[in-house]
């Protein structure tokens, strides 16, 4: 019985980690942090501001090679 609990716990941890990684990859986590930092609710206008901020950061970042 403990073996099944350990496997279930490990699977839950893997799933949680995978979901967190996907949220980072697809900018959902960054958008959530932006909303918290800016004190905004999610909306199309807030997302537009978020995307502009992301693009400004990309433009300022030095290019390699």
What does the DSSP assignment read for the chain? Answer: -HHHHHHHHHHHHHHHHHHHHHHHHTTHHHHHHHHHHHT----HHHHHHHHHHHHHHHHHSPPP-
Query: With bands split at pLDDT 50, 70 and 90, how would you rate the model's confidence at 60?
Result: confident
Alpha-carbon gap, residue 36 to 49, rounded angstroms: 13
Alpha-carbon gap, residue 38 to 4, rounded angstroms: 44
pLDDT tens-digit readout, 3-53: 899 999 999 999 999 999 999 999 999 999 999 999 999 999 999 999 999
């Amino acid at each position: 019985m403990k073996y099944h609990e350990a496997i279930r716990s490990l699977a839950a941890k893997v799933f949680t980690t995978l979901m967190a990684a996907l949220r980072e990859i697809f900018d959902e986590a960054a958008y959530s942090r932006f909303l918290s930092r800016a004190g905004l609710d999610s909306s199309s206008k807030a997302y537009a501001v978020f995307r502009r901020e992301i693009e400004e950061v990309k433009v300022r970042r030095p290019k390699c090679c």
